[in-house]
Every structure is written in structure tokens, then in C-alpha cells.
Structure 1
Amino acid sequence: MRETIGARPEKSSKAAVGRAGEEAAAAYLAEAGLVVERRNWRCRSGELDLIARDGDILVFVEVRSRTSPSRFGEAVEAITPRKCRQVRELAAIYLRTTGAAADSVRFDVVAVTLRGDGDAAAVRHVPNAF
């Protein structure tokens, strides 16, 4: 058995699940008629997963991904009140710093359940989630 110093396979696995979930979420939203404008927008305070447009509405999308079956529960259950506050604060920063125009904003959640091969088994979109 060979050991790699400093390697964290569980983190890379988690990152791969997150990337696959965001890809599935973006594809699902595009099929539903939304236009994904930004992915993984970052600032000092955190990251917004997806920013999309639904007509005149600017939609901030939090993506949660899980593998199936997950011992940690359903993906949508991972959205805590603290996370909702953080996404709202990040959205305000995004609007201030980018000057993005929107008649209104909305906060959605897309929960993705992935199979072992990384393909989406289920995608659940919750508009106006918080």
C-alpha cells in the first residue's frame, strides 16, 4: 500500500460530487427555460453556485448534491437557515459589486441525487425556496 502525503481523497470525491451536481442542475435549469449567467461566483464572503435569469427575474440558485443512497439524508435537507442567510447576503454583494439589473430576485434550491457513476438519478428544483 502506497501512501501519498497530504492527499485527501475524501475532499476530491466531495468536490467531484459537487461539480457533477452543479452540471446536472445547470442542465436541468436550461431545459426548464432559465438562462444560467454565472457559475461559482466568489467573493471574500463565500460563493454563489449558480446565477440564472428566468425572464426578468434574477435567480440565485443554491445547489446541493448527494450520492444515492446517502447516510446524510436528502440533498435538500442540507439547506440550513444559516445557509439561506449567507446566500441572501452574497446576493446583495453580487448586486452591489456587479451592477446587475433585475426587476426582482428569487432564491431557488436545486437538489441533485447522483448515482455511483456520477450521473444524475434525480433532480429536484424548488423555486422560491427561501
Structure 2
Amino acid sequence: METKSEADVNAVVQQHAEQIAKVAGQPLENPKLQAGPCTGKLGEDSDTIYSVQGVYNLAPPAGETHLAVIRKVHEDWKSKGYTITDDRTVGTDDGVVAAKTPDGYKLDIEKANPDGFAVFVYSPCYERP
């Protein structure tokens, strides 16, 4: 299990969220980052093992559909070699795309109700120094 400070993990979560916002063409809103307990790949579990979840909102797209923005994010992730783990259209202009980065971060963007987007970034498990 890799050892990393919570501040360092928060910074990576934030970077991923900012990249999604850049591709979507909207600034991040209502950021919430929270560390929580985590069970490692080998079943490790202790007070020092944690992951970070980042939750954000994005304003509705300007001049394009929600699905067009979600497709742009999907293409960006594909071009970076991320593994697409979910890619669904769930309504006329409603969808979700999720991916996993090579270093284990899980990313998700989906249409929020009533409008705009919800963005989620989950870190892998780390051990506190």
C-alpha cells in the first residue's frame, strides 16, 4: 500500500475535477472533499488507511447539450488511456460516463437534477504517513 498524505491526495482529486471542468467548459461549484476509511486491495484495514472522495457541481452547458459535454469528457478520458467503466444515455439529454485512471482514481460525470452536472472523483486507498 502506497503511503501518501491526505493533502497530496486531495490535490490529485482536485486536479482531476479541474480537468473535467475544463473539458466541460464550466467552473467547479460547491466542492466537497472528504477522507474516509478504506479497505486495501489485500484486505488491509486500519485507522491509517483511507481514501478521498471529491464531489462537485458544474453549471448547465452553455450552448450545447448535456450529452455533448458528456461525450467530450468521454473522448478526453479515452485519449488519456483511462478505462471507461460506465457510459450510458439515460434520457433525451441525460447520461453518465465514468472511468478509472491508470493510477486507480475513479472519475464520474453525470447530469444533475434539475440541471447542470455532478462530478465525483474517488481516490484509491492510501496509508497515512
TM-score by length of 2: 0.31
Q: With CA pairs under 8 Å and 6+ residues apart, which has the higher RCO, 1 or 2? A: 2
